Amino acid sequence: MSNITAADSPAQVDVRGPRFVAWVTTAVLVAALLISVQNAALAAALLGIQTLVFAVGAVAGPRRHPYGVAFAALIAPRLGPAREREPVAPLKFAQLVGFVFAALSTLGFAGGVMPLGLIATGLALAAALLNAAFGICLGCQLYPLIARLTPTP
């Protein structure tokens, strides 16, 4: 199960997979914000799960990302062949950035620091929505800068 086609290289994926992932992430983050008004602990639990999902995406990449697996199994077979592909490395970096914000959100809500939870969740939501609705991946945009600043062996 993967969201790649035979034409994809191991370093590239169909752009529709990460966009689907961003839509699901957007829904989870909106739900967490709505829940946080009534129950910060439940919002922290939901964000804890999202943090783990981001961790899988950051470490294992889009082909093993839980939402990416769902895309590959349920949606990709119903679509035509991929017309656009994007590299995996920036997507993994974007998931790492999402992980950081989701972890801060989780800690904020779990620790009773509501402003931290709300702000970190709101920033993650803004990034996810930009990617889902407009195809603008902020983490992917930052990746080349970070890659240039990172020393290579």
The answer to whether residue 8 scores a pLDDT higher than 60 is no
Q: Where are the domains of the chain?
A: 13-149
Encode pLDDT of 67-77 as tens digits: 999 999 999 99
pLDDT tier for residue 9 given thresholds of 50, 70 and 90: low
Encode pLDDT of 86-139 as tens digits: 999 999 999 999 999 999 999 999 999 999 999 999 999 999 999 999 999 999
Q: Is the dihedral of CA 130, 118, 47, 97 positive or negative?
A: positive
How far is the C-alpha of 65 from the C-alpha of 50, rounded, in Å?
11
In the chain, % of residues over pLDDT 70? 93
Q: Where are the beta strands (DSSP E) in the chain?
A: 12-14, 85-87
